[in-house]
Amino acid sequence: MLISLVVFTITAHAKTWIVRPATPLQKLQEAINNAMPGDTIIVEHGVYREPTIVVNKPLYIKGVGCPVLDGQKKNEIMVIKSSHVVIEGFSVQHSGYSGYNDIAAIRIVNSRNVTIRNNKLDDTFFGIYSQHAVSCTIANNELRSNAINEVTSANGIHCWKSDSMQIMNNTITGHRDGIYFEFVTHSTIKNNVSTGNVRYGLHFMFSNDDAYVGNQFRNNGAGVAVMFSKGVTMVQNIFFENWGSAAYGILLKEISDSRIQHNRFVRNTTGIYMEGTNRINVTQNVFYNNGWALKIQASCNDNTITQNNFQANSFDVATNGTLVLNTFNSNYWDKYEGYDLNHDGVGDVPYRPVSVYAMIAERNPVTMMLFRSFIASLLDKAEKTIPGFIPENLKDDQPRMKAFK
C-alpha cells in the first residue's frame, strides 16, 4: 500500500517537458536535471550532440519523429543510473570506441525495471549494455554496426551480472556477438533476429536458468555458443547458414540439465556440437542439409537424443571416441535402409548413424576431397557388413520409418 501511495503521489504531480532545437530547452540533459521523479520528457525531431547524458531519476523519455542522439564517435551516449526509467523512440548513433573501456551507446547501471524500446542504434561499439541490472526490458530495437573483426568490435546487447532480463523482438547485426550473457540468471531472450555478426549470434557464459525462444540466428561467424551454464532452455529457434571451419548452429561446452526442443538447424557446417555436456534433452528438432547434423564428443554423458528428424545432412552424427554414454532413440534418419515388417512405423533393425568415413573426415579434414567417391561408399558398406571401427553402442534401436511432422 505504501509503494502504491508513493507511485500515485509521483504520478499525480508528474510534469511533461518538451525538448526541441532552437528553443530555451534544447538540451536533453538540462531537461533531466530540471525534471522531478515520474516526469515525462518529450524530445522532438532533431540532432542532439551532448556529452554523456546521465539519467539519475525515474523518468519517461520519449523521442517524437526519431530524434538523433549523436555521440560524435567520442562519448558514451546515455547512462541510466536510476530504476523505473523508459527510453523509447530515439536514433542513437556514433558512440565512442575504446580498446580498454566498454563504451556503450546506452548503459544501464545498478538499476531495476528499466525499459529500452523502439530505438534505432547505428555505428556503436557496445549497443545496449546492462551491468547489475534487474527486471529490465530491452525490446523492439534495431542495432546495426560495422564490425570487421573480433578485436575492434563489441556486442550488440551485452548483459553482465544481471537477473530477470527480457530481451525481445530486437534485430541485431554487424557486431562481435549479437547478444552476450555473462553471469545472467532467470532471463528470457525471445523473438530476436541476430544475423551477420562476426563471432556469435548469441553467446552464453556462466548464465543459469535462462531461456531463448523463437529467435533466428542466421549467417553469423559461429552461430550460438552456450558455455559453462546449466538449466538453459532452447526452444523454437532457427539456426540457419552458419558456415565456416569452426561454425556451428549451437556450440555446447560444459553445460548440464538443459533442453533443446522444436528448433530448426538448416545449412550449418555443424548443427550442434556437444563437448562436456550432461543431461541434455535434444528432442523434436529438425536437422536439414547441414554438413554434420550432430557432433557429440566422448566427454558427453547421459544426453538423450530422441524424436528428431535427420534429413539431407552430409553426415548425421560424428564422435571422437568409442565409449558411448548417451541415448539415441526413436529418431527419423533419411539414410536408414532398414525395413518394417509389422508396419508399426518403427524399423525392425537398429540404425547406426556414425559412418567410418565420417570418423575419418572428422580426424583428417583433407579427406573430404573424397566425399561421395566410390572408395568412401565402399568403406561404409564394408563397415556395415563387418563392424569394427564405429562405436558399438551408438545406435538408434527404434528408428522411425517416416519423418515427424
Across 311-334, b (16+ Cβ under 10 Å) vs e yields bebebbbbbeeeebebebebbbbe
- At 389 the pLDDT is 57
The strand pairing partners of 117, in sequence order, are 88, 139
Confidence of residue 205 (pLDDT cuts 50, 70, 90): very high
- At 7 the pLDDT is 43
**Contact present, 105 and 128 (Cβ < 8 Å):** yes
Q: Is residue 214 part of a domain?
A: no
Q: Is residue 366 part of a domain?
A: no
Q: Is residue 313 part of a domain?
A: yes
Confidence of residue 387 (pLDDT cuts 50, 70, 90): low
Confidence of residue 376 (pLDDT cuts 50, 70, 90): low
> 375-384: long-range contacts at Cβ-Cβ below 8 A with a sequence spacing of 24 or more?
379/355, 380/355, 380/356, 382/356, 383/355, 383/356, 384/352
Mean pLDDT of 362-369: 62
Asked if the model's pLDDT at residue 267 lies above 50, the reply is yes
pLDDT tens column, 51-69: 999 999 999 999 999 999 9
Closest CA to 363 of 277, 297, 276: 297
Q: Is residue 56 part of a domain?
A: no
Q: Is residue 237 part of a domain?
A: yes
pTM over cut 0.85: yes
Q: Is residue 113 part of a domain?
A: no
- Domain boundaries, position 236: 232-354+390-405
Closest CA to 74 of 53, 54, 103: 103
Across 126-161, b (16+ Cβ under 10 Å) vs e yields bbbbbbebbbbbbbebbbbbebeeeeebbbbbbbbe
The number of domains in the chain is 1
Q: Is residue 289 part of a domain?
A: yes
Q: Is residue 376 part of a domain?
A: no
pLDDT tens column, 297-318: 989 999 999 999 999 998 999 8
pLDDT tens column, 141-170: 999 999 888 888 999 999 999 999 999 999
